Amino acid sequence: MKEDVFARVDGGGEELRADTSYFWDNSKRSESNRINLQRTQNGEGFFEDSQRRYSVPAGKIMAFTQRENSRYGYPATATEPYRLRYLSIDPTATATPLFHRIRHDFGPVLSMPNGSESASLFDEIFHRFRQRTFRDRYHESDLITRLLTSIYRQQVEDTQHTDPIEYGYHILHNQFTNPIKLKDVASSCGISREHFIRAFSQRFGKSPGAVLRKLRLDHAHSMLQATRLPLQQIAEASGFSTANVFCRSFRNEFGLTPSAVRQ
């Protein structure tokens, strides 16, 4: 029997809660390990894990899996009802790595402003599930993947204003195959090139140039092992200006030429 690789929604609803009897301990739930995305429509919920307790007001979602060590509910300090909308997703092989990457990079409470791409996709999936209007399993799975991708993108965009160095880190990781320059990255972060390089190096232990070069070389190394493409094409696909620059950098990094690694 073929493995099912298409994610699907298996639950979704809206609730209005107004007292602390609304409380869930995920570690004690009996359901299977599904992805849950719970968006605050009005009021405020809370989410708590082993690290800290989070407030989840309107414009935020909590992202968690059942059976993990976390809790959520209606906070005792709340002054108005908590209106929520949730999706329960059976992720299968396609969505699970992306969900865990979101949690790893940004935590369990995430930004989802009204009018954003992620909010629109969340609502579309919610309504299609309730009305049974997905065109087919492929359409449903595609929307779920797009939702998770847009959630990740939203968190990255938020760091442009809250943490420009973190934003620059994501630019490097998301655009390293393009012919980008550190001056342009720093400009996108709203800071000078010198400040970006100094602050980035202090935080991550490597200069942004070194990180960019390593990303490109690792990508090229994978392409060498997985394809028979000419070196010039691999160099261009990995962000290097020429095959000569690529080969020189590759040998300095790995101690072997690209041709030797391929053989």
In which band, very low, low, confident or very high, does the pLDDT at 91 lie, cut at 50, 70 and 90?
confident
Task: Please give the CATH architecture assigned to the domain spanning 8-161.
Answer: Sandwich (2.60)
Q: What is the pLDDT of residues 15-73, one digit of tens each?
A: 999 999 999 999 998 777 789 999 999 999 999 999 999 999 999 999 999 889 999 99
Q: Which two tokens stand for residue 41?
A: 């429509």
25-39, 55-69, 147-161, 209-223: range with lowest mean pLDDT = 25-39
Is a pLDDT exceeding 90 seen at residue 4?
no
pLDDT of residue 2: 63
- Residue among 213, 262, 257 at smallest CA distance from 238: 213
Show the DSSP H helices in the chain as ranges: 92-106, 117-131, 137-162, 164-175, 182-189, 193-204, 208-226, 231-237, 243-254, 258-262
- Residue among 94, 91, 154, 92 at smallest CA distance from 120: 154
Angle subtended at Cα 235 by Cα 233 and Cα 241, rounded to the nearest 5 degrees: 115
In which band, very low, low, confident or very high, does the pLDDT at 94 lie, cut at 50, 70 and 90?
confident
The string of DSSP codes covering 31-99 is: S-S-EEEEEEEESEEEEEESS-EEEEETTEEEEEETTSSEEEE--TT--S-EEEEEEEEE-HHHHHHHH
pLDDT of residue 1: 55
Q: Do domains 8-161 and 163-263 have the same CATH topology?
A: no
- In the CATH scheme, what is the code of domain 163-263? 1.10.10.60
pLDDT of residue 263: 78
What percent of the chain lies above the pLDDT cut of 70? 99
Domain boundaries, the chain: 8-161, 163-263
CB-based burial of residue 186 (10 Å sphere; 0-12 exposed, 13-18 middle, 19+ buried)? buried
- Residue among 149, 15, 148 at smallest CA distance from 72: 15
pLDDT of residue 3: 66
Q: Check residues 259 and 31 and name the one with the higher pLDDT.
A: 259
- Residue among 42, 45, 43 at smallest CA distance from 24: 45
List Cβ neighbours of 179 (8 Å cut-off, separation of 6 or more): 239, 241
CA distance 18 to 20: 7
Mean pLDDT score of the chain, rounded to an integer?
Answer: 94
pLDDT of residue 98: 94
- Residue among 51, 194, 35, 189 at smallest CA distance from 125: 35
Contact 220, 181 (CB under 8 A): no
In which band, very low, low, confident or very high, does the pLDDT at 135 lie, cut at 50, 70 and 90?
very high
- Residue among 36, 21, 23, 84 at smallest CA distance from 57: 84
Q: What is the pTM of this model?
A: 0.89
